[in-house]
Structure 1
Amino acid sequence: MFALVDCNNFYASCEKLFDPRLAGVPVVVLSNNDGCVVARSAEVKALGIPMGVPWFRIREQARRHGIVAFSSNYALYADMSNRVVEVLAQFSPDIEVYSIDESFLDVAGFEGTGLAEYGRQIRERVQRWLGLTVCVGIAPTKTLAKLANHCAKKNLAGAAGVCDFTIMPPADLDALLTRIDVGEVWGVGRKLTPRLQAMGIGTVRDLRDADAETLRARFSVVLERTLRELRGTSCLALEEVVPDKQQIICSRSFGERVHDLEALQEAVASYLSRAAEKLRQQGSLAGALTVYIRTSPFNPSEPRYQKAVTVPLPEATADSRLLARWGRRILKQIYRPGFAYQKAGVMLSDIRPRLRNQLSLFSSSRATRENARLMQTLDRINARWGRGTLRLAAEGLDKEWQMKRGHLSPGYTTEWAGLPTVKAR
């Protein structure tokens, strides 16, 4: 038995949480470089402003309606997400953190309380302790729990924030699933929806009642598994341990166009330093490195160029210095002068566990251990005093290429300087 807890309008809600003046005010959160709308408060949704629209296109509309824009404050969102999970852990010891604003809970054994009532308790405590609104969907499978959460958010069938499929009469559930488009099913998405509709499968109920063998033959065993989940057979277990990433990608669009090689080298070194930190966090090493650069694909007045090169490393590593050195070599290969570069990125692949790595014939085990200790020290200092306290000289100091965040809110929960000030009279 599963409950899916999903924070409503999470990014926008985090921004409104610490500023009482924003109560009832329409709020949007912008993507990197303040480019597009990636999160909307309920007030903005009511105005009909779509997700993904470029900020410059709605700036005048935003002024008319008093919309307040914020740059993405990832540190704030991650911290609030962790706090939500800490509250949820009081309701179930078995939790899968599915995304920054969604978590699955195993609620088997709590039926005696009444699962709908249990969901309301979850919703009430998160609201009271953190000030965030969540919706709860309860069902015997994860796919159905996602749908139940959708119903809770849309207030279908009088859900009002909590929807429990387990207490719904079969006829009522059939009627509800008939009203929901098949594209809302977890894992179906935009690509499969037109193909399913062409087969006469337009609603969730249509998919649930379709022939399993036909779907498996035309699509895959994955869609057949989705069908069985819709029928109440649990095929997806709770993933309490997040599997190690097999690829680690770090890329950013630049705040302004970059022309010279030196600035690109600083950006690539910075991205590799962050990717290496993630690699060490999961106790892994990377055996291959990809570096890519590109100009803007959307500006016809600028000449276009993009290039990516992947190289196998002589020895798998998580050492930021070695990765930055190889990144510099690759970048020299692919860089072409005369272009206005808009984005660069790196990818670590061929990832393997550090403890199972085999040294090459000419490797020094002592040097390897010392390098690992140095990286551990680097990570500890940055964890305590803030990322970037210690960094590679190759990352540069005056990073003009960094992404723009002109509407960034304070680090209310992650920085002493960001704490709200209260004045008593």
Structure 2
Amino acid sequence: MFTKVNPVFALIDCNSFYASCERVFRPDLAKVPIVVLSNNDGCVIARSYDAKPYVKMGEPYFQIKDRLAKQGIVAFSSNYALYGDMSERVMTIIESMVPGVEVYSIDESFADLTGIADATAMGRQLRSRILQCTGIPVGVGIAHTKTLAKLANHTAKRLQAHTGGVVNLCGDFERDWVLRNTAVSEVWGVGRRMTAHLEGMGITSAMHLAKADPWTLRKKFSVVIEKTARELSGTPCLELDEPDPPKQEICCSRMFGKRLTELAPIKEAVATYMMRASEKLRAQKSYCKKVRVSIRTGMFNPDEAKYAKGVVVTLPYPTDDVRLLTKAAVEALDHVFREGFKYSKAEVLLLDLRQPGEFSDDLFAVNQPAEATRVMAVLDEINGRWGRGTLRSASVPSNPDWGMRREMMSRSYTTKLDQLWRVT
């Protein structure tokens, strides 16, 4: 006789992740409000909890610069190398402590706690270990479904003074209290438009949605809302996702730090973007047969002439060799570049991606030389050990003047040897 075991999910979500990363190596900012800006220091994309009452997401920095200074809010340029490395450290700790993990985003993951005797104690252990080893505070929500785990996590953060950052909704009393005291707009997957439709039906709380007839919701809206309602009532409809399959396209594009009018710096930018795209290509162990390169001017300034064009290049053989990919992309720029325009952005797109052995070659087809594969393996090994960009193509500059404006970027404390934290 087998007894069915209800699944137990935990959602581990980093608190104000970008701002928390900035605070790890700046203890003097522990109680200072922080905002993080988008590429080229454009607008606010992240806020610490204590900055949220004063700054809205998406506000342009140039409009609020003086207000931030007056209110003592510190602004940082986005430091994606730091955030990515800190995220990897957090996820590695989680993976070492639980039987199954689904990395949901850069700052949150679902964990499988099924069969663990005291899930709440495990949640507190996860929170303590992550804080101790990385300095990043997290909230942990535990429940029998992923949607309830998300709701539990929201409650853990909202009532952190009472919950200690961990909420377990596996019990009926705890689950019902949270459902009654949570607006339907706060439910995972319920957007602004759906909120208006549901409120028009009298569904204003998460409890109302949990008790609504799922078939009616499916007919009136979609299967997604039906599953959400079932999950809120305690019926699991979502499992931990398997690792994502290899991507069919890989793109790398950036806005320049300033308008470019000459071909040479645009070629440098494309070579730089191709370096990053090829790293992603090799990370998923794929080969590329086609490359698309495109450039464009700014599209919103009425005083600037508009121009955008791209071209697709077929490579002589499927490859992951950054040297061949860069050569093809840079040469393609000669066919799309036009003088007299002020260019603001370039993009490289790797197409026709397949795994080794999936390309149908004939007896006389040219394949990537074995020595090229070995060179790329050495390149990735060196950069993986000593930091991205330690070894790079000769056409990739170290400090280009066309690079993104990041005048307030913090140091790369964990990824560059010359910027390690020093204690004196």
| TM-score between the two structures when normalised by the length of structure 1 | 0.88
C-alpha contact (below 8 Å) 2:297/2:341 kept by paired residues? yes
Provide Cα deviations, 1:41-75, integer angstroms capped at 9, x if missing partner. 122113x2011211111110111122222222222
Structure 2 letter corresponding to 1:12: A
C-alpha contact (below 8 Å) 1:7/1:133 kept by paired residues? yes
C-alpha contact (below 8 Å) 2:287/2:320 kept by paired residues? yes
Instruction: Tell me, yes or no, if structure 1 residue 320 matches structure 2 residue 327.
Output: no
Structure 2 equivalent of residue 25 of structure 1: 32
The 3 A distance-change label for structure 1 pair 285 and 24 is: same
Structure 2 letter corresponding to 1:100: I
- Residue 393 of structure 1 deviates from its aligned partner by 2.9
Instruction: Tell me, yes or no, if structure 1 residue 307 matches structure 2 residue 309.
Output: yes
Q: How does 1:249-328 map to 2 (within 5 A)?
A: 249-310=251-312, 313=315, 315-328=317-330
- Equivalent position SS for 1:395: coil
Aligned partner of 1:83 among 80, 89, 97: 89
Whole-angstrom CA distance in 2 between matches of 1:334 and 1:370: 32
The percent of aligned pairs where both chains have the same amino acid is 50
Structure 2 equivalent of residue 104 of structure 1: 110
Whole-angstrom CA distance in 2 between matches of 1:288 and 1:29: 36
Q: How does 1:393-408 map to 2 (within 5 A)?
A: 393-396=394-397, 399-408=400-409
- Equivalent position SS for 1:349: strand
Of 252-261 and 229-238, more deviation after overlay is shown by: 229-238
Any stretches of 5+ residues in structure 1 without a counterpart? none
Provide Cα deviations, 1:234-271, integer angstroms capped at 9, x if missing partner. 23222353432232221111111111222222211211
C-alpha contact (below 8 Å) 2:286/2:355 kept by paired residues? yes
Structure 2 equivalent of residue 55 of structure 1: 61
C-alpha contact (below 8 Å) 1:94/1:240 kept by paired residues? no
Structure 2 equivalent of residue 226 of structure 1: 228
The 3 A distance-change label for structure 1 pair 175 and 385 is: closer
- Equivalent position SS for 1:364: coil
Structure 1 letter corresponding to 2:416: E
C-alpha contact (below 8 Å) 1:177/1:203 kept by paired residues? yes
Structure 1 equivalent of residue 72 of structure 2: 66
Whole-angstrom CA distance in 2 between matches of 1:422 and 1:233: 52
- Residue 274 of structure 1 deviates from its aligned partner by 0.9
Whole-angstrom CA distance in 1 between matches of 2:220 and 2:148: 23
Structure 1 equivalent of residue 22 of structure 2: 15
- Equivalent position SS for 1:255: strand
- Equivalent position SS for 2:52: helix
Whole-angstrom CA distance in 2 between matches of 1:347 and 1:195: 39
Structure 2 letter corresponding to 1:411: S
Provide Cα deviations, 1:150-197, integer angstroms capped at 9, x if missing partner. 11111289544212111241xx64453354344433334356545555
Provide Cα deviations, 1:311-354, integer angstroms capped at 9, x if missing partner. 55554322222322332344333333222121222222332212
Of 187-196 and 10-19, more deviation after overlay is shown by: 187-196
- Residue 135 of structure 1 deviates from its aligned partner by 0.5
Q: How does 1:211-250 map to 2 (within 5 A)?
A: 211-217=213-219, 219-239=221-241, 241-250=243-252
Structure 2 letter corresponding to 1:35: G
The 3 A distance-change label for structure 1 pair 202 and 293 is: farther
The 3 A distance-change label for structure 1 pair 245 and 13 is: same
The 3 A distance-change label for structure 1 pair 121 and 64 is: same
Structure 1 equivalent of residue 386 of structure 2: 385
C-alpha contact (below 8 Å) 1:290/1:348 kept by paired residues? yes
The 3 A distance-change label for structure 1 pair 331 and 196 is: farther
Any stretches of 5+ residues in structure 2 without a counterpart? 1-7
C-alpha contact (below 8 Å) 2:316/2:366 kept by paired residues? no
Aligned partner of 1:136 among 140, 143, 151: 140
- Equivalent position SS for 2:404: coil
How many pairs are equivalent? 417
Instruction: Tell me, yes or no, if structure 1 residue 2 matches structure 2 residue 23.
Output: no
C-alpha contact (below 8 Å) 1:319/1:371 kept by paired residues? yes
C-alpha contact (below 8 Å) 2:256/2:345 kept by paired residues? yes
- Residue 120 of structure 1 deviates from its aligned partner by 2.3
- Residue 8 of structure 1 deviates from its aligned partner by 0.4
The 3 A distance-change label for structure 1 pair 203 and 357 is: farther
Structure 2 equivalent of residue 356 of structure 1: 358
Whole-angstrom CA distance in 2 between matches of 1:380 and 1:272: 18
C-alpha contact (below 8 Å) 2:141/2:154 kept by paired residues? yes
Q: How does 1:62-211 map to 2 (within 5 A)?
A: 62-110=68-116, 112-113=117-118, 115-155=119-159, 158-169=162-173, 173-174=175-176, 176-190=178-192, 192-194=194-196, 196=198, 201-211=203-213
The 3 A distance-change label for structure 1 pair 160 and 307 is: farther
Structure 2 letter corresponding to 1:326: A
